Amino acid sequence: MNDGLVLGIDCGTQSLRAALFRTDGALVASATQQYATDRPQINWAEQNPDDWWRALCATVPRCLDEAGVPGGVVAAVACDGTSCTAMFADADGMPLRPAILWMDIRAAAEARQVEETRDPVLDHCGRRISAEWLLPKVLWVRREQPDIYAQAAYIVEGVDWLTWRLTGRWVTSNSNASGKRHWTPESGWPTDFYAGLGIGELAEKSPDEVVYVGQPVAALSAEAAKALGLSTQCVVSHGGMDGWTAPIGKNCFDGGAASLTLGTSTVLVVETETPRCIDGIMGPFPDGIRAGRSVYEAGQTSGGSTIQWLLSLMGLGATDAVFARLEREAQAIRAGSDGLVVFDAFRGNRTPYFDPMARGNICGLTLEHTPTHLYRAILEGCAYGIRNVVETLENGGCPVDVLRTCGSGSTNRLWLGIIADVTGKPVLVSAERNATCLGSAVCASVAAGLYANLPEAAAAMAPEFETIEPADGMDPYGAYFAAYIDTYRQMKDTMAGLARLADSATEDDR
């Protein structure tokens, strides 16, 4: 029995969110549970996978309680998660080490090693490799922790491990496989490419099957059903990578509609029917979301995390009252923050430079600048990063007409207005803040047979949008954006040198 309720799970960087939706997209109930990130060294970030499962087992029952419904009415569930969060598990599925989180960029040397192969398989990812990606992390573990690598029966994404916990099946999604493991629908796993890197076993350690998002994986296992308070009749679908699930939740299936997620990082995703390699952009990834279509991905590792960094320095909590005050005060400061430009590479640059050695820069400081100036300048710097990738996409022949926006940053009205003015693009703000959860719920509804395909389900379940238009007939940030671009050109070598100094100091402390 079911009333057409579906459950979307989003395993994010700071917390896991569960949300129960009707098949018209209306939110019925939601719950969130946070977990910790361990940063044992500079540029490292790790999490305990068991924390994700505990969060899942806590939030789903809370959703059912809030909705006042029995678990048997939930027709299907899908789980998405952060991409490039590498899990090493034994034959019983137990973690052999903490998961290496997506934002961990310890494997910069390994990323260069992969890139320098110039293997044709890299044509599908823009011929560039980020230190965030799964393959460099696998190479790092093989080099630094060979016993872990040898013992690992499964090397998977974090969301693949959660899907296994839900069903007992080792599968990955087409988005994870195409986007981060160099899989193609024609050739499967690139075994020769793996072998050339010295990790020929990776194909055997990969999930057994690639399942497209929106397709059923299996019914919920008895153990998982008991832990979550659901029925064994509940169908499980793979939600894939969170950044690529968000476009589904915002119905970004129209040409020119780009998905912009403003979270710990910023993620911009565009689906295309005319794939071509665009220098500085990740992709085109074949069958990234739907069969027969490719996906471009871009964005920055430092987004909301840079704002959190500033608040921490200021001794402020990330409360509604604090943000309301900062927004009010920053609104009174002119565009350009009275001569401040922030280069937003506080965790390296993801695109278009693929530079893990890049670092954050604050240029133009005077004794008259206040913490509020810094706050506004960070918002502007993140917007410059978005404009940089939008222009790179458009110069490569991929049009971007509107930015459909979601994520925790989508509640920041000042930031949204700055993004619209900086990019010159209308920003459409999703009324459903957890549009990524909604995207997973869309996948679940298709897997349950409630809709025929993803576009049909997304159209029926799509949230309302509020449009924020850019400044009319002017570019108030043009000169500052040019200074942002010049910052990287002028400071690239200096940033890399400072990064190497910091790394060598860390090595001396070991």
pLDDT per residue as tens digits for the range 488-503: 999 999 999 999 998 7
Q: Rounded CA gap, 499 and 346, in Å?
A: 11
The pLDDT score that the predictor gives to residue 508 is 59
The tens digit of pLDDT for each residue in 56-81 reads: 999 999 999 999 999 999 999 999 99
Tokens of 308: 């959190």
Average pLDDT score over residue span 289-315? 94
The pLDDT score that the predictor gives to residue 453 is 97
Least confident of 447-451, 479-483, 501-505: 501-505
Tokens of 239: 């939600």
The pLDDT score that the predictor gives to residue 472 is 85
Q: Which domains does the chain have, with CATH numbers?
A: 5-250 (3.30.420.40)
Report whether pLDDT(378) > 60.
yes
CB-based burial label for 62 (10 Å; 0-12, 13-18, 19+) = middle
What number of other Cβ atoms are within 10 A of residue 273's Cβ?
9
Average pLDDT score over residue span 291-295? 96
Angle between helices 134-144 and 108-115 (to 10 degrees): 120
Of 175, 179, 172, the closest CA to residue 203 belongs to: 172
Residue 80 and residue 240 in contact, taking contact as beta carbons nearer than 8 Å:
yes
The tens digit of pLDDT for each residue in 88-143 reads: 999 999 999 999 999 999 999 999 999 999 999 998 887 888 899 999 999 999 99
Q: Rounded CA gap, 375 and 447, in Å?
A: 43
Q: Rounded CA gap, 271 and 467, in Å?
A: 21
Confidence of residue 2 (pLDDT cuts 50, 70, 90): very low
Residue 467 and residue 428 in contact, taking contact as beta carbons nearer than 8 Å:
yes
Report whether pLDDT(272) > 70.
yes
Confidence of residue 255 (pLDDT cuts 50, 70, 90): confident
Look at the pTM and tell me if it is higher than 0.85. Answer: yes
Q: In Å, what is the CA distance from 164 to each residue of 154, 167, 170, 324, 450?
A: 11, 5, 5, 42, 24
Average pLDDT score over residue span 374-393? 98
Average pLDDT score over residue span 453-474? 93
Average pLDDT, the chain: 94
The tens digit of pLDDT for each residue in 307-363 reads: 999 999 999 998 989 999 999 999 999 999 999 999 999 989 999 999 989 999 999
Tokens of 242: 């969170």
Report whether pLDDT(504) > 90.
no
Report whether pLDDT(1) > 80.
no
Average pLDDT score over residue span 230-251? 96
Q: What percent of the chain has pLDDT over 90?
A: 89
Which parts of 314-399 fold into alpha helices (H)?
A: 320-331, 371-395
The pLDDT score that the predictor gives to residue 72 is 95
List the helix and strand counts (H, then E) for the chain: 17, 21
3-state secondary structure 67-133: HCCCHHHEEEEEEEECCCCEEEECCCCCECCCEECCCCCCCHHHHHHHHCCCCHHHHHHCCCCCCCC
List, in sequence order, every residue forming a beta bridge with 261; answer none if it has no partner. Answer: 267, 406
The pLDDT score that the predictor gives to residue 397 is 95
Question: Secondary structure of the chain: what % helix, strand, coil (to 5)?
Answer: 40, 20, 35
